Amino acid sequence: MTYMTQLNPATGELITEIPETDPAAVHAAMQRARAAFPSWSQTPLAERLRYLKRVREHLVDGIETIAKDIAKATGKVEIEAVMAEIFPTADTLHYYEKEAANILAPKRVKTPILFFGNHSYVEYKPMGVVGVISPWNYPLYLSIVPVLSALIAGNCVLFKPSEVTPLVGAVIEDLFTAAGFPPGVVQVLHGGRETGQAVVAAKPDKIFFTGSVATGKKIMAAAAEHLIPVELELGGKDPMIVFADADIDRAVKGALWGAFTNAGQVCMSVERLYVEESVYDEFVRKAVAATKQLRQGIEYGSMTFPPQLELVQEHLQDAIDQGATIQCGGRALQEGTLYFEPTVLTGVTPDMRIMREETFGPVLPIMPFKTEQEAITLANDSEYGLNASVWSKDLPKAKRVASQLISGNVCINDVITTVANPHLPFGGVKHSGMGRYHGPEGLHTFSHPTSIMVNKGTKPREINWHPYTPELHQAFNTLTQFLYGKKRSVPFPALKNLIGQVLGTYRKPKTTATTTPTTQQNTQNQNLPM
């Protein structure tokens, strides 16, 4: 058996080894999931939610141990493991416990007048087996939420956690085991790239991937061969716009947290900071002073993945070579660990790699702007579009700017927070991905919406059926003009005839066995479509 090694990136010490799933075993896992799907999809929602509740309770009961495991696997400080992983996971699960029944209930919708007497609704049906492939930066939160969302909707799940943080994958597997899910409903497949490829090759009914743009494109290309729908939660290069009328002290604190939390390894990190020219020098001065006060191991942890640290250093060197200045930080700390000093960078230009490519590390590049339109243009000048933030005491202005940003999410006078609101849909545009989860969309994205129209079937025919007659043609002309044209152009006799045409297909003539229709009635009936 092959094992994956889990090192503590903050210390370099060996923590544990996790058995790896043989990629060849993924096919058998898919067969088990297919076999489990009919029963699980028919399990009442209230019962499925009881499993969800058990996961939440086990998670919260084990908060201290689980937080330590997350911190050891990722290098983040424990408070961030609680604040940004465990708490929002529990909050989101609790939200779905309360709202899932309403979200997944059939939705009545209106029916056009043409189908008068019918009623219409939408049902949400499970898709089948969902493959979830999750990342290493928030290995608990970004795994459990999509996995359990798919399960709530009635799907079975093949879940591949990141090979960079296998310890957290094992923690999640223990939570699912403790919750007592039926066999085959949710299976954890530990492994690296080959295991992920095997999940895609097993042809799940949907793939939910969180990770890099490069890997997302490969998954999408492979899924396209079999027309498998994909949802991609990818990277970001998120801009922060600070106007001169903002609370500068608050904006500095927000920028530092947005750039340095989780060592900058957040898809929604502040990676481009634009400050209005008149307050730029003040902002930089305060940001540098506050950054120097951050304490290693308390306010900021280590990075998680060695290649990512190398990329941060490449971006910084490229910026320096082109004239940028490191105001503070910029150094790797403690050989054998992945600590990197929080770094403030000035003198940057829009064409530098550090302003265009996702850095995913504790670096805050700051650039001035002169006008509102310039700030909007700079913020939108990116192939990414995950999150953005606008800072101003003038809320109408802030909202005006927010509405012009090409981004899946926008915060005003705060950063990152939209992802932690379970009521809001979350996702990106452009290279930041496609699809939405969280909120009602978080369950609908794992469902087939089925549109249903119900006809009581009591009439011999419908108005739009054969045979076609001149009277029917005229009736539809009149109906179209009356509903969608200049209503005064429809004469009353024509409208009356239209009503007769419609009602004639819904009402039987009022005759009795002892009554003979009059000549006038026969003449009228000849004008109705039979």
Q: Where are the domains of the chain?
A: 43-102+123-234+440-451, 238-425, 459-526
Short-list 77, 100, 6, CA closest to 305? 6
DSSP string computed for 100-137: HHHHHS-EEE---GGGTT-EEEEEEEE-SEEEEE--SS
**pLDDT of 495 strictly over 80:** no
For the chain, how big is the Rg over CA atoms in Å?
30
Is 156 considered catalytic here? no
Amino acid at 277: E
Cα distance between residue 388 and residue 268, in whole Å: 8
Q: Is the pLDDT of residue 98 over 80?
A: yes
Residue 123 to residue 445: CA distance in whole angstroms? 13
Select 238-425's CATH number: 3.40.309.10, 3.10.129.10, 3.40.50.2300, 3.20.20.10. Answer: 3.40.309.10
pTM for the model stands at: 0.92
CA distance 55 to 145: 11
Nearest to residue 447, comparing CAs of 132, 125, 204, 107?
Answer: 125
Instruction: Report long-range pairs for 210-214 (Cβ below 8 Å, ≥24 apart).
Output: 210/133, 210/134, 210/135, 210/142, 210/146, 210/234, 211/133, 211/134, 211/135, 213/358, 213/431
pLDDT value at residue 487: 66
Catalytic residue from among 80, 163, 267, 271? 267
pLDDT in tens, 418-428: 999 999 999 99
**Minimum mean pLDDT among 84-88, 233-237, 363-367, 525-529: which range?**
525-529
- In this predicted structure, the answer to whether residue 520 has a pLDDT above a threshold of 60 is no
CA diameter of the chain: 105
Please give the torsion angle defined by the CA atoms of residues 82, 88, 94 and 100, in that order, rounded to the nearest 10 degrees.
Answer: -150
Omega of the bond prior to 467 within 30 degrees of 0, cis?
A: yes
Is 267 noted as a catalytic residue in this protein?
Answer: yes
pLDDT tens for 229-258 read 999 999 999 999 999 999 999 999 999 999
Fold (topology level) of 43-102+123-234+440-451? Aldehyde Dehydrogenase; Chain A, domain 1 (3.40.605)
> Could you tell me the CA-to-CA distances from 461 to 119, 458, 466, 467, 513 in Å, in that order?
17, 9, 9, 10, 23
pLDDT of residue 528: 33
Mean pLDDT of 437-465: 95
- Condensed to tens digits (0 to 9), the pLDDT of residues 297-340 reads 999 999 999 999 999 999 999 999 999 999 999 999 988 999 99
Residue 351 to residue 355: CA distance in whole angstroms = 7
The alpha carbon of residue 318 and the mean position of all alpha carbons in its chain are separated, in whole angstroms, by 33
Side chain identity at residue 449, one-letter code: P
The overall average pLDDT reported for the chain is 93
The mean pLDDT value for 94-116 works out to 96
CB distance 40 to 52 below 8 Å: no
pLDDT-wise least confident of 47-51, 105-109, 184-188, 526-530: 526-530
> Token pair for residue 453?
């129209």
The average pLDDT across 77-104 equals 98
Q: What type of residue is 471?
A: E
User: In the β-sheet with 119-126, what is the strand arrangement from edge to edge?
Assistant: 107-109, 119-126, 447-454
Q: Which of 233, 271, 276, 357 is catalytic?
A: 233
Mean pLDDT of 146-169: 98
